A and B are shown apart, each in its own frame.
Chain A
Amino acid sequence: MNDQPHMTVRSYILIFLVLLALTGLTTGVAFIDLGRGLNNVAALTIAIAKALLVILYFMHARYSDRFTWVIAAAGVFWLLILLGGTMDDLITRNLLPGGQYFTP
């Protein structure tokens, strides 16, 4: 697939530095109160950004065929199915069909 290397040493090191910066960022941001739940969102977004960098550039997904993307996406999507179904049950645990909470 990748007949001649797409990535040069320089670009690897660049990605490495960006990843380090993002690690520092996520650690720093964690100590600042961003209000209602935004901390979790920030931590997750940065983690996803780092993950994408590693997948695309270090794992050469960017230069491989579409079916590799399908496999990677399937793994993530199925995890979301598991997460979604389980958390949906937890969140709506004492919700009546009409949307009010159980009160006997």
Chain B
Amino acid sequence: MNGAPREHYLNVDYGIRSWLFTTDHKRIAWLYLLSLTLFFFIGGFFATLIRIELLTPQGDLVQSETYNKFFTMHGVTMIFFFLIPSIPAVLGNFLIPMMIGARDMAFPRLNLASWYLFMFGGIFTLAAAAAGGVDTGWTFYTPYSSIYSNTHVVLTVVGVFITGFSSILTGLNFIVTIHKMRAPGLTWFRLPLFVWSHYATSIIFILGTPVIAITLLLVGLERVFHLGIFDPARGGDPVLFQHLFWFYSHPAVYIMILPAMGVVSELIAAFSRKRIFGYTFVAFASLAIAVIGFLVWGHHMFVAGESVHSAMIFSFLSFLVAIPSAVKVFNWTATLHKGSISYDAPMLYALGFIGLFTIGGLTGLFLATLGFDIHVHDTYFVVAHFHYIMVGGSVMAYLGGIHFWWPKMTGRTYPEPVARIAALIVFLGFNLTFFPQFVLGYVGMPRRYHAYPPEFQVLNVFSSAGASILAVGYVLPLIYLVWSLRYGRVAGANPWDARGLEWQTPSPPPTHNFDTVPRVTEAAYAYDKEPEEVYEFGSSPSRV
């Protein structure tokens, strides 16, 4: 390397225009990373207010109207503006073209449009929050949301509607890219499991998101034009709204967890230096989760007036969808057998993920059991369950993935010791926050309560204490990752000596990813071979 610094996707161009009008999937991933981090801390801010409010039984911090807005904004911001786009839009966007040896996504301009739609929707929702907030809960159940609530429902609904199209465009891009732009020799069963899980997620993006778009549009129309679509007084049926809402919103939880599973597969393989056990089973488990995930939405409505007949069908199917997740957990654990395991921060996040996701998944079986769901539906048992999956699962994997690919994205390594401490703090804080909520739910504390009977206070205090530890655990990575941008050790092309194709190009990678078109000759995670045996960088230069 003569004196001039190597040109890569970050220093190829500077200035606001080079970021706001980029079509480079790596820069778009950065745009998403920054906006998602903003929304994560907005959602976290509302979570902190909720936990402070629940310290005392009579709820002294705020009035109940304000508390209702807090948990609604916490839900809407965290789900639609952080969890759903988090791993696909940041890690997926950055890595999938590199993992399959392509220069960029199939439709780069659509990829940028996806970010603009995401921000445009976000502005609407933040405007609604600034103007006074919305108090319907992230589920927007009618007839409260369409008639009785006098808060900014329409503004929020339009925001979520617009952001939905951002997911659709991302999903569309992934499907076409994975189908059409794989490097020579990279057959489907040589693909990394990260790509498989994002392919399955894209199926849900494509086939689920439009349904919530039309449902929220109908709620908006009903509010603006005083229609009676879901208003029982005028012949409508609120249970129909719940069917349409949950048809998307249950697969949406698989949108949140499948990419996390993809990240964990990569981390477990990289830090055990071993192929994932039962690769084909784990790959098809992702597809099975995506498809069966569409058949089970009724388990959110067991006590909502759904017919006994369909409740039984949804309960049965909900048990079927749990099987692929169990298979994945068993396969990850089996991968550790005979591995050569190191405990870097990403691996701590991955192992934490497996533990917490197992608890989350098993409590999901509790809720799928008809007899027990009657008792714990809409209580803190459900809150604990989905936080174990979303926070214990998806956010842990997101952090693990950010740490693992940070050297590739920035060319710098993060400080390992403090990262490991942060991972442990997150793990401990998380369990202290949400495990007491299982007991609270079983004992009968309902969800979305601004004030609660005094006997529940001790458990709530534990939970709030845990939340403060968790908050510290989340702030630490923000600090040392930003610190590492300037002061972190310069990372080579492959600091982890990993076998993924994305590690076979310099970091940070050049704009066109690979100088010559790679040919793949081995299945993923070939840790028993040297990278040269796996990837042949042919003579034909990749056309710039």
Contact = CB atoms under 8 A, between A and B. Distances in A.
Interface string A78-91: 10011001101110
B313 A81 contact: no
Interface in A54-104: 67, 74-75, 78, 81-82, 85-86, 88-90, 92-97
A94 B309 CA distance: 9
B310 A82 contact: no
B310 A88 contact: yes
Interface string B179-217: 100000000000000000000000100010001000000
A81 B240 contact: no
B307 A94 contact: yes
A10 B236 CA distance: 49
Given A67-B179, A74-B207, A97-B312, A85 B295 contact: yes
Interface string B311-341: 0111000000000000000000000000000
A85 B295 CA distance: 8
Given A75-B207, A81-B295, A92 B247 contact: no
Nearest to B243: A86
Contacts of B244: 82, 86
Nearest to A84: B295
Contact of B310 (A67, A81, A89, A94): A89
B240 A92 contact: no
Contact of B308 (A67, A90, A97): A97
Given A67-B179, A74-B207, A75-B207, A82 B247 contact: yes
B320 to A, nearest CB: 14
B312 A89 contact: no
B442 to A, nearest CB: 26
Interface of B: 179, 203, 207, 211, 239-240, 243-244, 247, 294-295, 297-298, 306-310, 312-314
11 contacts: A74-B207, A82-B244, A85-B247, A85-B298, A86-B247, A88-B310, A88-B313, A90-B307, A92-B309, A94-B307, A97-B308
Which 9 A-B residue pairings sit nearest by Cβ, starting from the closest?
A92-B309, A92-B307, A89-B310, A78-B207, A86-B243, A93-B307, A88-B310, A89-B307, A95-B309
